[in-house]
Amino acid sequence: MIHIVDYGLGNIQAFVTMYKRLGVATVRARCEDDLRDANKLILPGVGAFDHAMALLDASGMRQALEQLVKRDRVPVLGICVGMQILADSSEEGVGAGLGWVKGQVRSFAGNPASAALPMPHMGWNDVLPAAGCRLFKTLEDEARFYFLHSYYLECADVTSAVARADYGFRFACAVQNDNVFGVQFHPEKSHHWGAALLKNFAEL
């Protein structure tokens, strides 16, 4: 059973629908009690870093999520802003992130290699997975995903970046720290590539 954290951000129904097509059971988690016995978590998100953290704190689920992820080692997949809030902090805001993946969220506009490019980075882009990452099983040779973002996660440990894409420079578009996974792109909008990745996560 995959618990999709519904704290007010992200298209929850898109994940429910895709997993239903894959034959994988899901449940929406809207409060701490809904997270009981979770064995996999999806943390979606759209919008701004500070707003996402404020909503997550207001949901009453943060402490339970911390225990599940850090103490019980439950696999979690952060998506888009849900990936960015895994980091320590962001140039987009002033508050702290979850700190589950060490690093800072940076602005494409502040990087000389990408500053002249259209913002946000939007549309389809090739993704280059690192060898052996189970999240990208069967996607090693060809993977294209849909992106919509103006910030990227700069990992403190380069080995935490398990896939990269190019937008003026090569940036981390997927990360992993033990049982914590994150993807900057939207698998729920990425057709069969996204379905394969979400299936891989369900089978971890």
Tens digit of pLDDT for each residue in 75-131? 999 999 999 999 999 999 999 999 999 999 999 999 999 999 999 999 999 999 999
140 is a catalytic site residue: no
Is residue 187 over pLDDT 90?
Answer: yes
CA dist 143 to 11, 63, 66, 176, 180, Å? Answer: 22, 35, 31, 18, 21
- Cβ–Cβ contacts within 10 Å for residue 16, how many? 18
The mean pLDDT of 155-162, rounded to a whole number, is 97
Average of per-residue pLDDT values in the chain: 96
Q: Which of 80, 121, 155, 173 is catalytic?
A: 80
Tens digit of pLDDT for each residue in 6-59? 999 988 999 999 999 999 999 999 999 999 989 999 999 999 999 999 999 999
- Cβ–Cβ contacts within 10 Å for residue 11, how many? 14
pLDDT for 166 equals: 98
pLDDT for 37 equals: 87
Domain count, the chain: 1
Identify the three-state secondary structure at position 195. helix
Instruction: Report the percentage of the chain scoring pLDDT > 70.
Output: 100
CA separation for the pair 117, 85 (Å, rounded): 24
pLDDT for 95 equals: 96
80 is a catalytic site residue: yes
Predicted TM-score (pTM) of the model is 0.97
pLDDT for 141 equals: 86
- Cβ–Cβ contacts within 10 Å for residue 117, how many? 13
pLDDT for 128 equals: 97
Is residue 68 over pLDDT 90?
Answer: yes
Q: Which of 3, 121, 149, 186 is catalytic?
A: 186
Q: pLDDT-derived band of residue 145, with 50, 70 and 90 as boundaries?
A: very high
Instruction: Report the percentage of the chain scoring pLDDT > 90.
Output: 96
133 is a catalytic site residue: no
Is residue 142 over pLDDT 90?
Answer: no
Is residue 167 over pLDDT 90?
Answer: yes
Q: CATH code at 127?
A: 3.40.50.880
User: Residue 24 sits in which domain range?
Assistant: 2-202
